[in-house]
Amino acid sequence: MNKIAFNGCSFTRGDGFAIADRDRDLYYGQVARHRGYDFDNHAKGGYSNLRIFHSAYEDITSKNYHTVYVQWTYVNRTWLSPKPNRWYFLGSRFTPVGNFLGHSVKFSKQAIEQITDTYLLLNGDYQNLLELIHYSNILEQIGHLNNVKVVFINGVVEWTAEMFEPYKSVDQLSDYARELYDLEDTTQHPVEQFHNTFYEKTKTLNKNLWINLVDSMFKLTFDFAPEDNMHPGPKTHQLIAEKIILFHEKG
């Protein structure tokens, strides 16, 4: 197999770059050239982690690839399909208005924001992070069965380093973890129980397969794509490419 595959959201597809420049400027093209492989990029803008999981699963089981790279995105993003040929995604206030416009479904910007805010209120990160660990473990196992190397890239997963360690105190927790464990309302279960339940799940995760476990592409971004000034830019993609190349050099 002389081919590698990339999966992910708009970060890996190359939104914000001219199509003609993506293979040259984005991390996936740099990694493929350095490793001497042909490649397929199956990333799609707006993809949820479930859709990324499905795409990566298909790549692994096809046995067409030496390595399958999996870039995870916002954990609470989801896709809706009101009609057979209509797809819309929810998951952040960054969802473009055009995402909900079409011949059959029309919403105002205000309505979209209300729908999104309600969805985010009802769909917190905690259980979605546990599912992400489950997805990663499944892909690793399927990779072993098919003799395909699977590599994970943190695109926009916000977990923090102390979440991968036993609970010590509230002071140890990041702002994200405090919000995740609903620190303002701990009447159901103590924060320690939430944390250690999550920590025990993280112990099943093969962290050696991750390029940037806690330092997401979003967090590492220090320049922006030339056409939208929002997605990671060429220097950030070069940094991610260097991390992946170093990962492979270390074996």
Percent of the chain at pLDDT > 90 equals 73
- Residue extents of the structural domains in the chain: 3-76+129-159+213-249, 78-123
Q: Which of 55-69, 104-118, 119-133, 224-238 has the lowest mean pLDDT?
A: 104-118
Q: What is the pLDDT of residue 93?
A: 54
Amino acid at 236: T
pTM of the full structure: 0.92
Confidence label for 186 from pLDDT (cuts 50, 70 and 90): low
Q: What is the pLDDT of residue 97?
A: 46
pLDDT at 241 > cutoff 50: yes
pLDDT at 92 > cutoff 70: no
Q: Strands 38-41 and 3-7: what pairing?
A: parallel
User: H-type helices in the chain, by residue range?
Assistant: 10-13, 19-25, 27-35, 49-62, 109-122, 125-146, 175-180, 191-202, 217-220, 234-249
In this structure, which CATH number among 3.40.50.1110, 3.40.1440.10, 3.40.50.2300, 3.40.30.10 belongs to the domain 3-76+129-159+213-249?
3.40.50.1110
